Structure 1
Amino acid sequence: MNLVLASTSVYRRELLARLGIPFRCVAPRFDEAALSRDGKTPRAVAEALAEGKAASISMLEQGATVIGCDQLVALEGRILGKPGSLERAIDQLETLAGQTHELITALVVLRDEQSFRHTDVTRLRMRPLTRAEIERYVAHDRPIDCAGSYKLEQRGIVLFESIETEDHSAITGLPLIRLTGLLRTLGYAVP
């Protein structure tokens, strides 16, 4: 069977590889910037982005099972994107310090006329942080390519008081518990 991950994310590729199923990564042909965010909740935006990524590859890969995923950080209904620079990472962490925010991970699996969707919402409470703590963290993990400016799989875990989630792999970008069930439904041999 032909399994395609519509992503160039190293993190998602590593997570999917853990399942032991052969797959290919293909860059989505979807213009994220063109998606209208007007009046949409962060959850709806993440779901639309995941759908767009999966659909852009599914149209080109007939018969393939295509996985699309997107992840957003939201604080009080406002989306915080990937910082892109160390300075913006510091600013984002100063905003999140002492607050509870959501990490929204949307998953879409498409194969021909079949479609499956799941959205995992993780609630994270960041502890109060000093500017010096934030600067030390950012200098070490350099989280400029991560929504929310942290990498929980590295030292980012020390920034938090609590994390509530149904699937810890969703935090890194791909909810493997739900995905494994969907792939079994589609006939993939997952131990």
Structure 2
Amino acid sequence: MKLILASTSPYRTQQLTRIGLEFERCAPNVDEDLFKQAGFTPETLAEVLALEKAKAVAQQHPQAVVIGGDQLVSFENRILGKPGTEELAIEQLLSMQGQTHLLITAIAVLGPDFLETHINQTTLKMRELSRTAIERYVRFDQPLNCAGAYKLESQGITLFEEIQSTDHSAITGIPLIALTSLLIKAGISIP
């Protein structure tokens, strides 16, 4: 059975390659802003977006198993996504420094006779940091396309004093432990 990742994210691609899966990638072309305005809780928004991405690709490939995913940061009742610019990345990190926030990662696995979702929550406590340290980090890692404006798989790990998660792979974009279980249930062989 064909497996498709409803994403062009290089991070998610690396994760699926890491566990030995053969898959195709397809851009889901979902208007995320439309859903962000609906007033969902952060967990629900991440889950809805993961599912909508999977559905968008499944419409083009109805016999495939499709993986959709979304990730966002929940901080002080606000949803922080990808900053897009260095200035916004610096501002996001400055607001979170010394504080705890949630990194919410959702996946949806959709097949011809299968649909399940999973949400992973990682709790992160950021160190107290100076503006200069944050600016230096943003220049180095360029985390402009990362929820929360950090890359834990790179120098971003130095920003944190504590991380609690049941599946650390979720931090990169896909909770691989949960995904493996869902794919097996959907009929995909895992090497």
User: Aligned AA for 1:143?
Assistant: P
Find the counterpart in structure 2 of residue 103 from structure 1.
Answer: 103
- For these two proteins, the number of residue pairs brought into alignment is 191
Residue in 2 aligned with 1:48?
48
Residue 83 of structure 1 corresponds to 83
Runs of 4+ more than 4 Å apart: none
Contact persistence 1:37–1:45 (CA under 8 A): no
Deviations 1:150-188 (A, max 9, x none): 100000000001000011110000110000111122232
Aligned to 1:158: 158
> What TM-score do the two structures reach when normalised by structure 1?
0.96
Could you tell me whether the CA contact under 8 Å between 2:114 and 2:186 is conserved in 1? no
* Structural mapping, 1:36-185, within 5 Å: 36-185=36-185
CA distance in 2, matches of 1:41, 1:111: 26
- Counterparts of 1:94 and 1:32, CA distance in 2: 25
TM-score w.r.t. length of structure 2: 0.96
Quote the Cα distance in structure 1 between the aligned partners of 2:87 and 2:132: 13
Unaligned runs of 5+ in 1: none
- Please, which runs of 5 or more residues in structure 2 have no aligned partner? none
Deviation, 1:36, is 5.0
Structure 2: how far apart are the matches of 1:39 and 1:61? 30
Q: Which amino acid aligns with 2:184?
A: R
Instruction: Name the % identity.
Output: 52
Please give the secondary structure, in 1, of the residue aligned with 2:93. Answer: helix
